[in-house]
Amino acid sequence: MRKPLMAGNWKMNKTVEEAISVVKALKRSISDVTDVDVLICPTFTTLYAVNNELKGSNIDIGAQNLFWETKGAFTGEISPAMVKDAGCSYVLIGHSERRQYFGETDETVNKKTKAALAAGLIPVVCVGETLKEREENVTFKVIEKQLKEGLAGLTAEQAASVVIAYEPVWAIGTGKTASPDQAQEVHAFARKAYGEMYVDASQKVRILYGGSVNPTNVSELMKQPDIDGGLAGGASLQAESFTKLVKYSK
């Protein structure tokens, strides 16, 4: 019912040449995949070239951020229409690194989500608790707040079209993955909390897991009923490992 989505977040990695070399290999290695949606999110400076290389392929591209205003005196920012113009169909919003280092809040996540939707982009909205919050047993409270504030005020149709990524902060780039049971528990909770906001959308919305997803743990994670895909950082940087994520054994 929910088509899996395997997404790669390249963060601040790769020149145009390096990016093109990976997507050329990826295009070949996953050209036969039809049962999983595939997305890569390169840097802003490589989007245009990557999009040209991927035209006609089964790989979508997304940006890693955007600004909610449409244009004007906002030095260094990129508007939703510009992201769309570069060939993107998705955009990551509220990644924990942006929350941690660049002052992203649930309020800015909400503004960006609405602006992305208005421009015809699919937002991949990231939520997740820190290690301290998990140890203090407030994981559910944190996720609920991030969802209720970050995704407030959408239409039913928009609510079903967004993608949510559960990324426990303690598992990002650390090699520590949430166990399939731990991840499923939060995914089920997130779906329930989203259902209190948008009844119909909650069964349609895709909830990805992110946090040290790799070729070894991907299949067990994907077996969980409320995990609809993955958002990978490190394992998406090479065509070989990302292909293994996309072609996880079912």
| CB-nearest residue to ligand PEP | 233
Active site residue 167: yes
Contact call for residue 40 and ligand PEP (CB under 6 A): no
Q: How far is the CB of 207 from ligand PEP (least distance, A)?
A: 14
215, 235 Cβ separation under 8 angstroms? yes
Q: How far is the CB of 157 from ligand PEP (least distance, A)?
A: 27
Q: Which of 97, 133, 167, 187 is catalytic?
A: 167
Judged by CB, which is closer to ligand PEP: 49, or 92? 92
Phi, psi of 13 (to 5 degrees): -135, 145
Q: Does 104 bind ligand PEP (CB under 6 A)?
A: no
Closest CA to 186 of 221, 231, 219: 221
Q: Does 127 bind ligand PEP (CB under 6 A)?
A: no
Spatial CA neighbour of 177 closest among 141, 222, 147:
222
Site string for ligand PEP, 189-228 (x = CB under 6 A): ---------------------xxxx---------------
- Helix axes 139-150 and 106-118, enclosed angle (nearest 10): 40
CB of 179 to ligand PEP, least distance (A): 15
Work out which of 9, 108, 158, 184 binds ligand PEP, going by CB under 6 A.
9
Nearer to ligand PEP, 79 or 212 (CB): 212
- How many Å apart are CA 42 and CA 39, to the nearest integer? 10
Min dist CB 239 to ligand PEP, Å, is: 16
Q: Which of residues 147-186 bind ligand PEP (CB under 6 A)?
A: 167, 172-173
Interface with ligand PEP, residue 231, by CB under 6 A: yes
Catalytic one among 53, 95, 97, 133?
95
The CA R_g of the chain, rounded to the nearest whole Å, is: 17
Six token digits for residue 141 = 């409270």
Question: Does 234 interact with ligand PEP (rule: CB under 6 A)?
Answer: yes
Annotation says 196 is catalytic: no
Contact 39, 9 (CB under 8 A): no
- Supply φ then ψ for residue 7, to 5 degrees: -120, 145
Per rule CB under 6 A, count of chain residues that contact ligand PEP: 14
Residue 142's closest CA among 116, 123, 170?
Answer: 170
Burial class of residue 34 in the structure, from the number of CB atoms within 10 Å of its CB (0-12 exposed, 13-18 middle, 19+ buried): exposed
Among 22, 178, 208, 232, binds ligand PEP (CB under 6 A): 232
Give the DSSP letter of residue 52: H
Give the whole-angstrom CA distance, residue 104 versus residue 150: 11
Residues that bind ligand PEP (CB under 6 A): 9, 11, 167, 172-173, 210-213, 231-235
Active site positions, annotated: 95, 167
